[in-house]
A and B are shown apart, each in its own frame.
Chain A
Amino acid sequence: MTLASTTAPVASRAWLRPGPFALTLPALLLLTLLFMLPLVRLFSLSFTGGFGWYEKALTGGLYTVILYRTFEIAGIVTFFSFVIGYPVAFLLATTTPKWRAIGFAFVMLPLWTSVLVRTYAWMVLLGRNGIINRMLIDSGLLDTPLSLLNSRLAVILGMVHVMLPFMILPIYSALTRIDPDLPTAARGLGASALRILTTIYLPLSLRGIVAGVTLVFVVSLGFYITPALLGGGKVMMYAMVIEQQVREFLAWNFAGALSVILLAVTLVMFWLLNQGVARHLRD
């Protein structure tokens, strides 16, 4: 009797207490309304009239070429982000606290600046009358300016710049979790600096590398602003084609099909990268 009378109020209060699911409800609602619903709408639009729009997207040479080029650019951007980002992350993880703070400021500052601003900054640098061309001409190295802007190089430069923090941060986080005695032990056991990198740091920061690579690659696949501005319409990426279809041709159905293809391909890439890691970590 006493037991029942004391536990009953507790039980009723527990019922009122929000569970973990209830706590995620606001975010879930927001995502459903603003993200899932438009996606479902786009999805259904793309299927009006059967698979016709998909046929057009996947067989028309132009669109598959652009899809391929988008992959290529995303791949190149990911590669350079890694090649530049890993050493930066490594320095941040191994330097003194003072230099780490300074380094982090330089990594994070661009992240807090609008992508648009950063892209315009690259336009100022790369333009025909931009700083780089002027320096080259003034120093007598060139007679006529290089056409740096509106090129694949400009797009890749700009995208690498924007994506670098997304590569650096997960790798940095993985590197700081490595016990500093491990590289020391490896050194004492006869490993050269290069062998310490390949046998200790790289395998032990693999999780961070995969997270960074996935993030940069997946985001690069759908990149719009930077390639649009720095490529000047000469370098087409998939997101730009989608935008063009909506804005210029009001072809919502076709744009829907292209979006679904991009999303599907992105998800497959995401899954593949994660599978690779999962298998490696199991071994």
Chain B
Amino acid sequence: MSNDRASTSPQQSGRLQVDAASKRFGHVAALSDVSLSVAAGEFVTILGPSGSGKTTLLKVIAGFEIADQGRVLIDQADITELDPAQRNIGMVFQNYALFPHMSVARNIAYPLAMRGTPKAEIATRVKQALDMVELGGMAERLPKQLSGGQQQRVALARATVFQPRLLLLDEPFGALDRKLREQMQIEVRRLQRRLGLTTLFITHDQEEALVMSDRIAVMDKGRVLQVGPPNEIYEAPANPFVADFIGESNIFAGVVEADGGNLLRVRLEQGPVIEVAGRADLAAHRGQRVRVMVRPERFVDLAADQNSVWANRIDGRVTDSAYIGVSDKYRVVTAEGIDVLMRLPSGPSSRRYSAGEAIAAGFHAADARLIAVQ
């Protein structure tokens, strides 16, 4: 994989390192002690709600804002206070920021012209870039004569034509409709792999983050809460915010009754006791208050599976049901008043429940994730 990158890209992309960066606007801490490193050629997504500081982090890396504290390094070189024009970082803006008075070709030629690249070389590189994003015939068009998806590609070509050491993408798919969005996600990823570009992608769309990234950094209130590959972020959220922000989740509160080995017994606030897998990085002892997360799709309908042994069992009544296509979504309330969201596989072989019906579901201790200890 890395050999392949080296052979197709004449200039190896950079390794980005953000070191304990902080940035305040007035008395609002936009970034608090943020550290993040992105390996050469890696695609990392910064995921967070609006106001989480992800755009500020991007600006600090691009140089449009200077961090109050901390450092930004590319390949060990400190660029914290370097002028953006000197950083050699490609960026795609949310609204693309194409120059409206320049043709597609001149837009793409812009970063090369600013670097004093000879005219003949500009022409060939612009042509290559246009071919790469499949806009060969559009060179002389103005940006406003292109569709949203085409403008997006021009922005991408412009941000990569000068072989930047890093590519920054600031919610670039926000303005596209769902279908085009999914298509662009694949295209951007293919292009990024082909060029071996170190890429930092910003989004508030958790689905997009899960689909595209090598790793995801979840941000909230100016802090990075968890960094990891998509499956880790989804399966093993480090804390309640991540658990709640990514995907759907049931979060139960309770008290640890027994903490033997790597299995906890937790008495929920409403009464029942469940078995929860312990965490090596998060110790929970007898008597401590904890929170536990279970993903809705981890429940198994006990009417369809009577043979297996289930550590945990939920008996309740369906209050709402919805057919999603791949699954059926149920809201279930137990006799003790616990509210549970479940997704059960749909299909001819599985039973469908309607509101008011009794349901029994099981889940493994491993599917109950400890997310907070107080």
A binding-site residues for B, Cβ under 8 Å: 179, 181-182, 184-192, 195, 199-200, 203-204
CA distance A185 to B170 in the complex (A): 12
Could you tell me which residues of chain B, from 122 to 164, have a CB within 8 Å of some CB in chain A? 158-159, 162
- For B114, give its contact among A179, A181, A182, A191 (CB under 8 Å): A191
Q: Is B100 an interface residue (CB 8 A)?
A: yes
Please tell me if the beta carbons of A188 and B62 are within 8 angstroms of each other in the complex: yes
Find the B residue at minimum CB distance from A185: B97
Q: Is B89 an interface residue (CB 8 A)?
A: yes
CA distance A200 to B99 in the complex (A): 8
Please tell me if the beta carbons of A185 and B93 are within 8 angstroms of each other in the complex: yes
Please tell me if the beta carbons of A188 and B91 are within 8 angstroms of each other in the complex: yes
16 contacts between A and B (CB under 8 A): A181-B94, A181-B95, A184-B64, A185-B91, A186-B99, A188-B64, A188-B84, A188-B91, A189-B110, A189-B111, A189-B114, A190-B88, A191-B114, A192-B114, A199-B110, A204-B100
- For B85, give its contact among A179, A181, A192, A203 (CB under 8 Å): A192
CA distance A191 to B158 in the complex (A): 13
Task: Assess A179 versus B97: contact at CB under 8 Å? Given A185-B91, A188-B62, A192-B85.
Answer: yes
CB-CB < 8 A to B85: which residues of A? 187-192
Q: Least Cβ distance of A204 to chain B in Å?
A: 6
- For B101, give its contact among A185, A188, A195, A204 (CB under 8 Å): A204
CA distance A283 to B286 in the complex (A): 77
Please tell me if the beta carbons of A188 and B114 are within 8 angstroms of each other in the complex: no
Interface string of B94-116 (1 = CB under 8 A from A): 11010111000000001100110
CB-CB < 8 A to B162: which residues of A? 189-190
B binding-site residues for A, Cβ under 8 Å: 62-64, 83-91, 93-95, 97, 99-101, 110-111, 114-115, 158-159, 162
CA distance A189 to B99 in the complex (A): 12
CA distance A63 to B87 in the complex (A): 61
Q: Least Cβ distance of A77 to chain B in Å?
A: 29
CB-CB < 8 A to A181: which residues of B? 93-95, 97
Q: Least Cβ distance of B85 to chain A in Å?
A: 5
CA distance A214 to B60 in the complex (A): 43
CB-CB < 8 A to B91: which residues of A? 185, 188
Which of B62, B64, B85, B89 lies at the interface centre, i.e. has the most chain A CB atoms within 10 A of its CB?
B85
CA distance A181 to B172 in the complex (A): 14
Main DSSP-derived SS at the A contact region: helix
Please tell me if the beta carbons of A179 and B95 are within 8 angstroms of each other in the complex: yes
Please tell me if the beta carbons of A184 and B97 are within 8 angstroms of each other in the complex: yes
CB-CB < 8 A to B115: which residues of A? 190
CB-CB < 8 A to B97: which residues of A? 179, 181-182, 184-185
Q: Least Cβ distance of B171 to chain A in Å?
A: 13
Please tell me if the beta carbons of B89 and A188 are within 8 angstroms of each other in the complex: yes
CB-CB < 8 A to A200: which residues of B? 99
CA distance A186 to B97 in the complex (A): 9
Please tell me if the beta carbons of A190 and B95 are within 8 angstroms of each other in the complex: no
CB-CB < 8 A to B111: which residues of A? 189-190
Q: Least Cβ distance of A194 to chain B in Å?
A: 11
- Give the 10 A-B residue pairs with the shortest CB-CB distance, closest first: A190-B114, A185-B97, A189-B111, A181-B97, A191-B114, A187-B84, A190-B85, A188-B84, A203-B101, A188-B91
- For A195, give its contact among B62, B88, B93, B114 (CB under 8 Å): B114
CB-CB < 8 A to B101: which residues of A? 203-204
CA distance A203 to B106 in the complex (A): 14
Q: Given A181-B93, A189-B158, A200-B99, 4 more contacts at CB 8 Å? A: A185-B93, A187-B84, A192-B85, A199-B110
Which of A187, A189, A195, A203 lies at the interface centre, i.e. has the most chain B CB atoms within 10 A of its CB?
A189
CB-CB < 8 A to A191: which residues of B? 85, 110, 114
Which of A186, A190, A192, A199 lies at the interface centre, i.e. has the most chain B CB atoms within 10 A of its CB?
A190
